[in-house]
Amino acid sequence: MRDYTEITKRLKNLELPIECIGNVHSYPIHQIDLASSANMPQPVLITGGVHGDEPAGVEAVLQFLERDNTALLKQFSFTIIPCINPYGYVHETRETRNDIDINRAFETDVVTEVAIVKKVLGQTQFSFAIDFHEDYDATGFYLYEGTRNEKYIGPQLAAAAKAIGPVDPEDPGEDAPNLVEGVYKVATEWGTQGLAPYLLHFHSKHVIISETPTVWQLERRVALHLTILDTALDIISEMNV
């Protein structure tokens, strides 16, 4: 069993407004908004813990929140949900307590965790969204990218992330078109059952799913996620100068 109260404690230590957006099986799901200092900020969504047994994503979100993001806030605003599947996080299961894979459930409205996230999303349109995951079978990292304008930054992200560790040599087997080594396109065949494809269709013109190998040490997985995120924000900010 993993300690979810530790997550809550770290969030409360941030001295940022934390919103409880819902309770699932007695665990709160939190949302943190980082307001921008810009007049017209680009809204970014960051999510972790869709799969409960992938703690590096939750840890990456927490470490992002715990660091100084003043420079980024000159251009971006952030909506952050650190752990979408707290029951799974505590019990170290991919699925929810009801054996639902949240990342295959966004076309339904009967899954509590999904309903909570959809309510938060409302009518919001994001410039960019990133969802942090892990892969138990992988030996290196990889990522999925979806973009409405077909301008892919994945190759640059993978190049930057190679400083942290190697690309996974295996195809993840999700029928996603391969762009370059370690970069796959969000497949249209997936529909909108997964969080990232759902966001791409309804809420974000650009999405990334970052995948780290569980065999790496936690800190290295976190570093990988944050490198992908920071590199993406860097490229996006240059695109809009």
Where do contacts with Zn ion occur on this chain (CB under 5 A)? 51, 54, 133
> Taking the complex as a whole, how short is the minimal distance between the CB of residue 232 and Zn ion, in angstroms?
19
CB nearer Zn ion, residue 71 or residue 136: 136
Choose among 207, 209, 223: nearest CA to 63: 223
CB nearer Zn ion, residue 72 or residue 200: 200
> Taking the complex as a whole, how short is the minimal distance between the CB of residue 51 and Zn ion, in angstroms?
4
> Taking the complex as a whole, how short is the minimal distance between the CB of residue 138 and Zn ion, in angstroms?
11
> Taking the complex as a whole, how short is the minimal distance between the CB of residue 47 and Zn ion, in angstroms?
11
CB nearer Zn ion, residue 51 or residue 206: 51
Q: Which residues contact 180 (CB under 8 A, 6 or more apart)?
A: 154, 155, 158
Burial call 165-188: b when 16+ CB within 10 Å, e when fewer: bebbeeebeeebeebeebbbbbee
With 0-12 / 13-18 / 19 or more C-beta atoms within 10 angstroms meaning exposed / middle / buried, residue 158 is: buried
CB nearer Zn ion, residue 25 or residue 94: 94
Euclidean distance between CA atoms 95 and 105, whole angstroms: 11
* 64 within 8 A of 34, measured Cβ to Cβ: no
The count of residues in the chain is: 241
> Taking the complex as a whole, how short is the minimal distance between the CB of residue 214 and Zn ion, in angstroms?
10
CB nearer Zn ion, residue 33 or residue 53: 53
